[in-house]
Amino acid sequence: MKKPADKNAVAKPSRRNTVVLPDDACPTCGTMMKETRGSLRSPVNGEQVSVPSVSHFQCPSCGEQVLTYAQACRFEEDAAALYRKKYGLLSGHQIRAIREHHRLTQVELAGLLRLGPNTISRWEAGRNVQTAALDMLLRLIRDLPASLAYLREHAAKI
């Protein structure tokens, strides 16, 4: 991050009457933020998950917390992984292995499970977490191959 010449620099009006803040200034009060590590909470499938030791920026004046894009991506991935571990859900790699074992595309598997076409991609990448019910369906496909034939027969009729 670029540091402004003046450590106490505050927002300056631009030519269009908008305010331009230095890169590391608090978006709420304009004070220079400090990088820190701490526990943050994120909602996953309707539950608040506490992620320890998250690198982020915090304002010493107002307490505002801000994450860079990279920090936010890592934070969300860590929250999803903690949720999966807590409930014993399949990982993205395991979901991909099930799909590839049955020679299904992401769109085909999504259709069989009555999901949107991008859902499987998000699960496999770790950006979203499947519900316990859908996790059970994925395990049935993995452990009972006849269940896949059943889904193929009945998915279109529902």
Helix (H) or strand (E) holding 63: none
* Range(s) within the chain of domains with CATH label 3.10.20.860: 19-87
pLDDT for position 114: 94
Encoded tokens for 155: 């998915």
Mean per-residue pLDDT for 150-157? 82
Q: Within 10 A of 26 (CB to CB), how many other CB atoms are there? A: 24
pLDDT for position 96: 98
Whether the per-residue pLDDT at 156 is higher than 70: the answer is no
CB within 8 Å of 11: residues ≥ 6 apart: 19, 20, 21, 25, 30
CB within 8 Å of 37: residues ≥ 6 apart: 53, 54, 55, 56
What band does 3 get if pLDDT is binned at 50, 70 and 90? Answer: very low
Distance from C-alpha of 74 to C-alpha of 30, rounded to nearest angstrom? 26
Distance from C-alpha of 153 to C-alpha of 71, rounded to nearest angstrom? 44
- pTM recorded for the entire structure: 0.74
Distance from C-alpha of 53 to C-alpha of 13, rounded to nearest angstrom? 36
Pick the CATH number of 92-157 from 1.10.260, 3.30.70, 1.20.120, 3.90.380: 1.10.260
Cβ atoms 70, 60 nearer than 8 A: no
Q: For a pLDDT cut of 90, what percent of the chain falls above it?
A: 75
Summarize pLDDT for 30-64 with one digit per residue, the tens: 899 999 999 999 999 999 999 999 999 999 999 99
What band does 157 get if pLDDT is binned at 50, 70 and 90? Answer: low
Cα 124 to the chain's mean position, in Å? 12
Mean per-residue pLDDT for 116-136? 95
pLDDT for position 17: 58
Is CATH 3.10.20.860 the right assignment for the domain spanning 19-87?
A: yes
Encoded tokens for 129: 């977490």
Q: Within 10 A of 38 (CB to CB), how many other CB atoms are there? A: 12
Cβ atoms 100, 94 nearer than 8 A: no
Mean per-residue pLDDT for 122-126? 94
Cβ atoms 109, 99 nearer than 8 A: yes
Mean pLDDT of the chain: 88
Summarize pLDDT for 10-31 with one digit per residue, the tens: 444 445 656 666 778 999 998 9
* Range(s) within the chain of domains with CATH label 1.10.260: 92-157
Mean per-residue pLDDT for 85-107? 97
